[in-house]
Amino acid sequence: MSELGELDRPGTPDSPGAWDEHSEEWLTGAPETDVRDTETTQTPSQTTTPATRAARRGTADPVKALMHRHRELCERAVDPLEIAAGLEAHGVTDRTAARFRHRDVFSLAEEMYARLSKDVETAPRSTPSPAPGVRADWVLLSVLPGALCAATVTGLHLTEGRIRPAVATLCALAVALAVRAALGRGPLSARSHPAPPGTYPRRTPAATRVWTYWLLAYALLGDDLLTAALTDGPDGVPAAVRDLSAAPALALTLACVPAAWCAHLFAVGARRKLAASRGLADFTAAVKPLLLGAVALFLCLSTALVALSATLLHEPAAYTTTVTLGALLLLARLLTKHGFTHAPAVVLGAAAAAEAATLATAFASHLPGCAFLAAPLDAVVAAGGPAAIPAVACGGAGLLLLLHATRSLTRASAHATPGEPG
C-alpha cells in the first residue's frame, strides 16, 4: 500500500507551482481523516466545518500553520502576489481565505509575506552555469592540423619527382579541412559561446576569412617573393614559389593546440569571475589580467613551437613573423567568437593591405622610371630582413586588436550565457 500511498495524492494539483512534501502530507492527510471520521462516528449528516477542523488540529494560529505548509513557496516569494499565485495553484480560494479571517487570497498572501521572518533573506544562490569542460573531441581536433602538417612535410621529404605536387596539394587540402574542423569545435568555435537566446548565431564575416587566407599565404611565400621582387623582378617568382618555407606552416598549424587551450582557459576563467564578481567594474578588473595572461601564454608557447619546427626542418626560425601572425589570428578569432566581428575584419584587412602594398611596390619598382619606389623597401629590408614587413604589419595589427580586446572582451555582456527567459 506504500506504493499506492505515494500515488494517493487526492489534492495534488498538476500545476507548475512548487509542491513540497509538507503540503503533500497535508493534502493526503485531509481527506483520509475525513473518511476515517465517518467510519468511526457514523454520523453521516454531520459535515466537517472549518471550525471543527481547526479545533481538531488544535492550532491557535492557522496562518502560521499555512505558512509552514507552504514554507518553500514563502521563502522563494519576491512579493505578495507570488504567494497569492502559488496558493491559488494549490487550491486555496477566497472561501478558504475566509477561514483565515481574510477577505481574499491577496490579503492572506500579504499577511504571509509580511510575517516572513526577514532573516530568511539568505535565499538559495543560483548555481553558476557549468563551465565548459575539457572534451576529448576538441582536444583531438586541435592536435589534428599540426599532425597532418607534419605528415605532409615528411611526405614531401620522402617523395620525389612528379608525384610531389599531387602529394603537396592533397595534403594541403587535408590540413585546411583539419583547421576548419578544429575551429568548428571546442573553445575556438562560435558554438562554444552560444549566441544569446533567440538571436541568430554569429557567423564569421567573409572578409575576415579572405584576409586570414591572404595573411597565411604571405607567411608561406611572402618573404621569398619580396626578396625575389627586389633583386630579380618578376623573373624570380617561380623559384620563390618552388622553395616555399615549410617551417612557419608547421609552427602555425601546431599552434592550434595552444590557441585552443588558451581560449579554453580564458573562457573558464571568465565564467568563474562572472559568477564570483559583485559588480561590472570588478568583473572587468578581474578579467583583464586573465586575457593578457592567456595571450602571453600563447606567445610563449608559439615561440617554442616555432623553434621546434625550425630545428626539425633545419630551416631558419622566423620568430617574429610567425608568432605575431599567430597572436593576431588568435585575437581575431576570440573577438569574432564573442560577437565583435567588425574590428577583426577591418584590422586583418589593414594588415593584409600593408603586405600587399609592399609586394606591389617591390614589383612596380622594376617598371621603367619607378626605381625610386624600391628605395624605402630596400632600406627596411637591409635593416631587418624581408621578415620585417609582415612582422611590423601583423605586430601592429595584433597590438590594435589586443587594445580592442582589453576593452571589449572584458565587458560582462560579452560573456553573457543564454539564460532561460520564459
Partner 1 sequence: MLVRIGLLTEGGYPYVSGDARLWCDRLVRGLGGHEFDIYALSRSERQEDEGWIELPPQVSRVRTAPLWTAEDDGVVYGRRARRRFAEVYGELASSLCAGPGAGSTPDGSDAATAEADRFASALYGLAELARDEGGLVGALRSEAAVRALERACRAPGAQGAAREARVPDLLTVAAYLERALRPLSLDWYGDDGLGSVDLCHAAAGGPAALPGLLAHHFSGVPLLVTEYGVPLRAHYLASGADDNAPAVRSLLAAFHGRLASEVYRRAELVTPGNTHTRRWQERCGADREKLRTVYPGMDASHFAEVGESPETGDTDTLIWVGRIEPAKDLVSLLHAFAEVRKEEPKTRLRVIGAATGAESEAYLGHCRALAAQLFPDEAEGMHAVGDNPVSFEEIGGPEAPTLAEAYAAGAVVVLSSVVEGFPISLVEAMFCGRATVSTDVGAVVEIIGGTGLVVPPRNPRALAEACVALLRAPARRERLGAAARARALELFTVEQNVEAFHGIYLEVVARCPVHKVVLDDTGEPLPFAVPAESHVPGRWTQAGIGVVARGGPSWATGRASAPVQATPVPAGEGVR
User: Is the separation of the CB atoms in 132 and 192 below 8 Å?
Assistant: yes
Kindly provide the b/e burial profile for residues 83-97, where b requires at least 16 CB atoms within 10 angstroms of the residue's own CB. Answer: bbebbbbbebeeebb
The Cα-based distances of 52 to 48, 49, 294 in angstroms read 6, 5, 71
* Smaller CB separation from partner 1, 105 or 313: 105
Q: Which is nearer to partner 1, 159 or 277 (CB)?
A: 277
In the complex, minimum distance from the CB of residue 273 to partner 1, in angstroms, rounded to a whole number: 9
Nearer to partner 1 by C-beta: 11 or 233?
11
Radius of gyration of the chain (CA): 35
* Integer Cα distance of 160 and 145 in angstroms: 24
Q: Which is nearer to partner 1, 35 or 239 (CB)?
A: 35
CB atoms within 10 A of CB 320: 19
Q: Could you tell me the smallest distance in angstroms from the CB atom of residue 305 to partner 1?
A: 35
Nearest residue (CB) to partner 1, 42 versus 368: 42
* Shortest reach from residue 346's CB to partner 1, in Å: 13
Minimum distance, C-beta of residue 120 to partner 1, in the bound complex (Å): 11
**Alpha-carbon gap, residue 113 to 66, rounded angstroms:** 12
Q: Smallest distance, Å, CB 197 to partner 1?
A: 6
- Alpha-carbon gap, residue 212 to 245, rounded angstroms: 18
- Smallest separation (angstroms) from partner 1 to the CB of 399: 23
Contact 10, 29 (CB under 8 A): no
- By beta-carbon proximity to partner 1, the closer residue of 37 and 315 is 37
